[in-house]
Amino acid sequence: MLVARAAWALSIPLTIGALLVPQCPRAPATCSLLLSCLTSSPSGGGTVGNRSPGLCSSAARSASMASGAHVKARCPVYPGSQTRRFPVPDDKVSWETEWPEYLPPSYTAPSVLARPAWADPDISSFSPYFNALDGTVDRTSHEGEYRVEDGKPLNPHGRTGLTERGLLGRWGPNHAADPIVTRWKRDGAGHSVIHSESHLPVLQFVAIMRKDCGEWAIPGGMVDPGERVSLTLQREFSEEALNLLAVNPEERAWLRDRIASLFASPGFQVYEGYVDDPRNTDNAWMETVAVNFHDQSGDSVSELPLQAGDDAGQVSWMDIDSTLSYYANHSLFLEMVAKERHAHW
Ligand code: RP5
């Protein structure tokens, strides 16, 4: 994990009970192997939507990364391209620091310039309402008001060494949602596994290996315009971790039922804010709402038949552990879940 850790002291007790999902014949796979990549090629995407009033936000936290500069957003080579970022040292990340020598290259991926439905036009040919709900496109930031200079929004976490949009569709914030589905790790006898060093129980979460870069990640995705975050969480989990769109109709109906039960619980909102994503630029960046859905008893979500779909190359239950690396700053969200549930980290 390369970003600075925040000191988490969530003190509000959780109210999430066990999630009740009937038994499924297929056993989930388990895995604790991790790959890592910093400069590979995440896919585009770029739609935004509504905040969700359905989420439990009693212990929600806007976990600003202000205490530590973004790191992955300054990766030397922009993902999916040959474009090298202008190197930005830690002490020059802040826009408040004068730096006349800063001359970053511009880059917008051909897939974005082709104007798919999820992408904005070029800034010269339209007039977006920044820091506002712009029609169905949410251009507000979880981080508060961002600056707009020469008609272009400025990354609230500072310089990235690259201007324009890169692989991201929207100028300014590109909103995503990340469902963190967890259970306790159990041994063959069904007892919770205690970590030998921390002496705390080990949590597992449903992870996907992203096709675009091979990194393990939370199965999140972009919020469509006008879509509630609670629906995005459910849709992305269904498509990426259960491959709902590809299963036969009979199994699909069974799965829909189980998924509805899982996401009927309000979940525990762990994080909302900026994502230290390698696709970020000076003018376009990722933000997310991360929500934890926990299977306390181990007999509900654990029984769901994991199958990779959409952007996922693989899917697996994976141990939550600080020594493993994950896409963007997903480690930060997992750490928050572990701390909140008094689990090993
Ligand atoms: C990350 O990118 C978010 O945290 C989320 O997991 C993901 C969404 O982008 P796509 O998977 O749709 O490319 O920044």
Residues 243-253 have a mean pLDDT of 84
Q: Which residues of 135-160 are buried (b: 16+ CB within 10 A; e: fewer)?
A: eebbbbbbbeebeeeeebbbbbbbbb
Residues 43-66 have a mean pLDDT of 37
Residues 251-266 have a mean pLDDT of 83
82 pLDDT band, cuts 50/70/90, is very high
Interacting residues of 199 by C-beta distance below 8 A, sequence separation 6+: none
**220 CB near ligand 1 (under 6 Å):** yes
pLDDT at 64 over 90: no
Which amino acid type is present at position 286?
A: M
**Residue 194 has which token pair?**
């205690």
Residue 72 in contact with residue 38, Cβ under 8 Å? yes
Interacting residues of 261 by C-beta distance below 8 A, sequence separation 6+: 19, 20, 21, 300
22 pLDDT band, cuts 50/70/90, is very low
Q: In ligand 1, which atom is closest to the CA atom of 330? A: 4
Nearest 5°: phi and psi at 92?
A: -115, 10
pLDDT at 217 over 90: yes
SS3 301: helix
**288 CB near ligand 1 (under 6 Å):** yes
Residue 88 in contact with residue 82, Cβ under 8 Å? no
**Residue 87 has which token pair?**
């190197």
107 pLDDT band, cuts 50/70/90, is very high
Residue 252 CA to ligand 1 center (angstroms) comes to 25
Interacting residues of 114 by C-beta distance below 8 A, sequence separation 6+: none
Q: In ligand 1, which atom is closest to the CA atom of 286? A: 14
Instruction: Quote the pLDDT of residue 301.
Output: 79
Residue 255 CA to ligand 1 center (angstroms) comes to 24
Q: How many residues does the chain have?
A: 345
**Residue 246 has which token pair?**
């590809």
Separation of alpha carbons 62 and 45, rounded Å: 23
Separation of alpha carbons 67 and 89, rounded Å: 16
Separation of alpha carbons 338 and 345, rounded Å: 6
8 pLDDT band, cuts 50/70/90, is very low
Tally Cβ neighbours within 10 Å of residue 33.
Answer: 10
pLDDT-above-70 percentage for the chain: 81
244 pLDDT band, cuts 50/70/90, is confident
Please tell me the least confidently modeled range out of 101-105, 235-239, 298-302.
298-302
In tens, the pLDDT along 172-215 reads 999 999 999 999 999 999 899 999 999 999 999 999 999 888 99
Which residue is listed with tokens 């939550």?
A: 320
pLDDT-above-90 percentage for the chain: 61
pLDDT at 17 over 50: no
Q: Hey, where are the domains in the chain? A: 28-340
In tens, the pLDDT along 315-324 reads 999 999 999 9
Instruction: Taking the CA atoms of 92, 96, 100 and 102 in sequence, report the sign of the dihedral they define.
Output: positive
**Residue 247 has which token pair?**
């299963």
CATH 3.40.50.1370 fits domain 28-340:
no
pLDDT at 18 over 70: no
pLDDT at 61 over 50: no
Residue 269 in contact with residue 230, Cβ under 8 Å? no
80 pLDDT band, cuts 50/70/90, is very high
Separation of alpha carbons 121 and 344, rounded Å: 46
**287 CB near ligand 1 (under 6 Å):** no
Residues 106-112 have a mean pLDDT of 97
pLDDT at 295 over 70: yes
pLDDT at 148 over 50: yes
**332 CB near ligand 1 (under 6 Å):** no
Tally Cβ neighbours within 10 Å of residue 271.
Answer: 27
Instruction: Quote the pLDDT of residue 59.
Output: 32
pTM of the model: 0.81
Q: In ligand 1, which atom is closest to the CA atom of 288? A: 4
290 pLDDT band, cuts 50/70/90, is very high
Which amino acid type is present at position 186?
A: R
Q: 106-108 and 163-166: which strand pairing?
A: parallel
Residue 343 in contact with residue 201, Cβ under 8 Å? yes
Distance from chain centroid for Cα 30: 21
Give the closest residue to 304 by CA, choosing from 264, 256, 265, 270: 256
**Residue 22 has which token pair?**
């009937």
User: Higher-confidence residue: 185 or 23?
Assistant: 185
Instruction: Quote the pLDDT of residue 223.
Output: 96
**45 CB near ligand 1 (under 6 Å):** yes
Q: Read off the DSSP letter of residue 80.
A: T
**Residue 337 has which token pair?**
């879940």
Residue 319 in contact with residue 202, Cβ under 8 Å? yes
**Residue 127 has which token pair?**
């007039």
Please tell me the least confidently modeled range out of 153-162, 188-197, 238-247, 326-335.
238-247
